[in-house]
Amino acid sequence: MATKNPKCLVIDTSVMLAAGGVDAVHPTPKLCRDFLNEVLKLGHIIIMTDDLFAEWNRHGLPTKSLLGKSPSWYVMMERKGRVRRVLGNTVRPELRQAVFAVLEANAQETVNKDMHLIEAALLADEIVVSKEVKVRKHFRNAALRLAELQVIVWVNPAVPEEGCITWLRAGAPAEIERLVMNFKERETDDSTE
């Protein structure tokens, strides 16, 4: 059952790397796998910039299968026309400069590694799907001072309390509590540094 208004999502490598195969029973691999399969089933789209694709390639993710010997999740998304490729330079130096200006020096290196997620989200439906808790906190701090980041929705499918599959089924709306600027860390967050 496809959603009426599919959203274009940024899927971070942290989610793909954590996703387990068909036999996964541990909560994190199962939650991430189920989330990705729901993205496919519901007809949502993923954005793939050159920077994001390079990161996926470094980890061999375009060929990672979640369903045993079937084609990879990425290949199935491509076959269904659900990968929006954005070629060329998508780096936004003025945005990076503004983000770094409002962050503490010790946060800048961490944020720099994942700025491509925000840049891609701003080219799509402003939604990041990532397990990265540390960088999410840094982007929250930046969003409190930068209006451009205040529209970013950030979800972590590895945290059951976030109810990401229910949210996907509802059309992935930009709910206030999901905005990166409203992030509140939980003790149960399965963090990827």
Tokens 């999901």 appear where? Answer: 178
Residue 162's pLDDT is: 96
How many Cα atoms are found within 13 Å in the side-chain-facing hemisphere of 23? 2
CATH of the domain at 98: 3.40.50
In-domain check, residue 190: no
How many domains would you assign to the chain?
1
Q: Domain range holding 13?
A: 8-182
In-domain check, residue 97: yes
φ, ψ at 112 (rounded to 5°)? -60, -35
In-domain check, residue 174: yes
Residue 60's pLDDT is: 82
Neighbour count for residue 106 (Cβ, 10 Å)? 8
In-domain check, residue 188: no
In-domain check, residue 108: yes
pTM above 0.85, yes or no: yes
For the chain, 193 residues long, the average pLDDT of each consecutive 10-residue run is: 88 94 89 96 96 90 68 90 95 96 93 97 98 96 96 97 96 97 73 47
